[in-house]
Chain A
Amino acid sequence: MFESKSGVLLVAGLGFFVFAFLSNGLVPALMYRDLPEKSVEELAADNSNLMYQFEDLSYRYPEQFAKYYGVPSDETLAEALRLGRRTYVAEGCWHCHSQFVRPVAREDERWGPVSRTDEYQNVLQRPVMFGTRRVGPDLSREGGRHGNDWHAAHFFQPTLVSAGSPMPEHPWFFDGSPDLPNRRGIAIITYVQWLGSWLESYPYYEDYEPIELPDDDE
């Protein structure tokens, strides 16, 4: 067996591979088979945090929003989420931003609750966006931490709001200026606001320090 063609092909090649797949790939699939997979429509339908952000986009950028999405509704929200996820993948965002909070290294103090399986049981995690690298922060609890205008400025030119940021500029999400997000721009902001929006609160780990404003009287 050890030096024969059939041994190498069938035992080492096929057999060991299938054994590894069954034990490492199929076991979690079977363990989680009863967790329902949510569709994008279901995700959009019962998430008031997210709808709040989506409506905020329509107030902030009325012409752009009307031009690309019409009016905020469950359907247009689902459409934006779908395109947002596609853009997140296509632009390679997931190679510098992870989407899971680990139970070690005090990550829950920085980002919020440790990630659970059911958070990933939906179509927008197909394939799953765990990520393997954090050049920028984890995004799985990013929704609601920053306003839509912050995200718009940040996507247009990250250094505008985050000095020293190595993140690439994405001016193609806009029709020329940061107050004119286009279809992809509105979609990617909606997607980022979705991340963690299913949680009830947004923990902040950095103490709020008010910026000292110049005194007008003097």
Chain B
Amino acid sequence: MIDTQAVPPDAARHEDLVDDPIVVAYFLAALCFLFVSMLAGLLMALQLVSWNPLQGIELLSPGRWRMVHTNAVAYGFLANAFLGALHWAIPRLTMRPVLDRRLSWFIFVAWQVVVGCTALGIVVGPTLQAMSPAWEQLPFSFGAQGVEWGETPTWIDPLALAGLLLVGINFMAPISRAKGPLYVASWYFMAAFVWTFLTYAMGNFLPQYWLTGTSAGAVGGLFIHDLVGLFVTPLGWGLMYYFVPIMLRKPIWSHGLSLVGFWGLAFFYPLNGIHHFLYTPIPMFLQRGAIIATIAVEMVVFTVIVNFFGTIWGSGRQLITNLPIRWFYTGMVLYGLTCLQCALQTTLTFQAVIHFSDWVVGHAHLVMFGVFSLWLLGIMTYLFPRLWRTEWYSRDLCEWHFWLSAVGVFVMFADLTLAGLFQGYYWGSLRPWDVSVDGSVPFWMVRVFAGLAMFAGQLCFAYNLYRTWKAARLGPAPSAAKPAPVPQAS
């Protein structure tokens, strides 16, 4: 894993480009929120099987912590981990530092305030507001906002939006100064900065202050989908386009397919959102349009997957020896599975049965954990030794981290998908509601243990990280990994 390539004399120095501490800070913040999110998920999972030992405590209400679960993973884990990885990738890709390191640190602090306030607002907000009749008369809620994936309380939305704008400015400076043709990763990053800002503004403000009822539902659907499709997906693929060729030391298989993948995604993905609300009063022609666009986007992303498998063709052994590569390609296989599932489940036929069921929850875990979290954990596995100039304390713990995470999320996905089918048919059979709940309990039990496996994987990672950090404090070992020299544009 150690890069011993000779450094050309005119190479830009890593120290001038990358602010290592901020990458570490973002990754550690991300991991903290990952643990918060997983504990929240565990609480909800225990609640569903009636094993919650903390019933009836207002500040530990599973309803509130369920929203912390999704928000902590989207804005706390994924966003922080992406920002950390981008602080490494973009300066080294463009060979120019970000606009201003002080701005980077300001954004870092501001973003932790945003995510921390989101969690605090959701958990403590309603309790606080109920303490005084005067506060209850206020025209806004201290607690969650009624937008799925956008439960960020309304009072923190403007700060979050400002933060996203600053992120774009800070990273666009090096990209805009870069000379020559842009590499694929940069397309995804640039588009993501525009999309994330617009998506956040659309989803958090329009249904709250302008639209109502059905039309707000349409925008809500766009928001749910764009958050995954236009914020998480492009940053994830952009990072894959950056890290995979570097680690495999060969170019991406087909530039043409890269073009098809990016432009197809850019065109079709934003048109998908309404498929979250099929059979609602949203006009039927829009629902059908969203379905067609969804199937189109699934075909397009398969070209991207093919492109990456074309790239690793001939280097298959890396899947065994190179841990980060294994994380990445496992994520891509699960991505293919997600997209295949999505092309089916978006149809009206499937929706009649599986909508409102745990099938959707399984799908969400497969995407958010099985794909993007695996990629980001793989990136962390690759970068921490380079940031701390030391090898991992234990390769075995790295293996445990991988297998527990990957197998855990796959079991959870398979289990919840099956649960969803059962639930859909219970409901359609018009048997009493309790029958569908009783029938779900065995699946929910399996889910608890799948979740515990994923959690145990992250515990292995945290312990490994702690021991690695302790070793790094003693000074770099003679054979320590150094950041690879910045690749030169040819």
Contact = CB atoms under 8 A, between A and B. Distances in A.
A89 B211 contact: no
B424 A8 contact: no
A89 B144 contact: yes
Interface residues of A, number: 80
Contacts of A122: 212-213
A21 B63 contact: no
A125 B213 contact: yes
Contacts of A14: 194, 198
A94 B78 CA distance: 24
- Which of A31, A89, A121, A171 has the most chain B CB within a 10 Å cutoff? A89
Interface string A90-122: 111111101010111111011000011100111
Contacts of B176: 5
B247 interface: no
Given A20-B270, A27-B286, A120 B202 contact: no
Contacts of A107: 427
Contacts of A93: 63
Interface in B415-433: 424, 427-428, 430, 432-433
A106 B425 CA distance: 11
Interface string A113-148: 001110011110111111111111100000000000
A3 B182 CA distance: 6
Nearest to B67: A92
Contact of A90 (B64, B230, B428): B64
Nearest to A159: B50
A96 B368 CA distance: 20
A79 B143 CA distance: 18
Interface in B37-53: 47-50, 52
A38 B421 CA distance: 38
B257 to A, nearest CB: 13
Nearest to B354: A105
Interface in B50-96: 50, 52, 55-56, 58, 61-64, 66-67
Contacts of A13: 190-191, 193-195, 266
A205 B430 contact: yes
A103 B424 CA distance: 15
Interface string B203-217: 000111001111111
A37 B56 contact: no
Contact of A170 (B61, B127, B136): B61
B220 A168 contact: no
B263 A120 contact: no
Nearest to B139: A82
B212 A17 contact: no
Contact of B64 (A4, A17, A21, A92): A92
Nearest to B351: A104
A86 B273 CA distance: 26
A140 B471 CA distance: 59
B430 A183 contact: no
Interface string A1-17: 01111001100111011
A25 interface: yes
Contacts of A128: 207, 212-214, 216-217, 220
A4 B215 contact: no
Contacts of B220: 127-128, 130
Contacts of B145: 89, 127
B146 interface: yes
Contacts of B47: 166, 168
Given A9-B190, A17-B230, A24-B274, A133 B360 contact: yes
A52 interface: no
Contacts of A23: 271, 286, 289
A130 B126 contact: no
B280 to A, nearest CB: 6
Interface of B: 47-50, 52, 55-56, 58, 61-64, 66-67, 122, 125-127, 130, 133, 136, 141, 143-148, 175-176, 181-182, 186-187, 190-191, 193-195, 198-199, 202, 206-208, 211-220, 222, 224, 226, 230, 259, 262-263, 266-267, 270-271, 273-274, 276-277, 279-283, 286, 289-290, 348, 351-353, 355-357, 360-361, 424, 427-428, 430, 432-434, 437-438, 444
Interface of A: 2-5, 8-9, 12-14, 16-17, 19-21, 23-25, 27-29, 31-32, 35, 37, 83, 86-87, 89-96, 98, 100, 102-107, 109-110, 115-117, 120-123, 125-137, 157, 162-166, 168-172, 183-184, 205-206
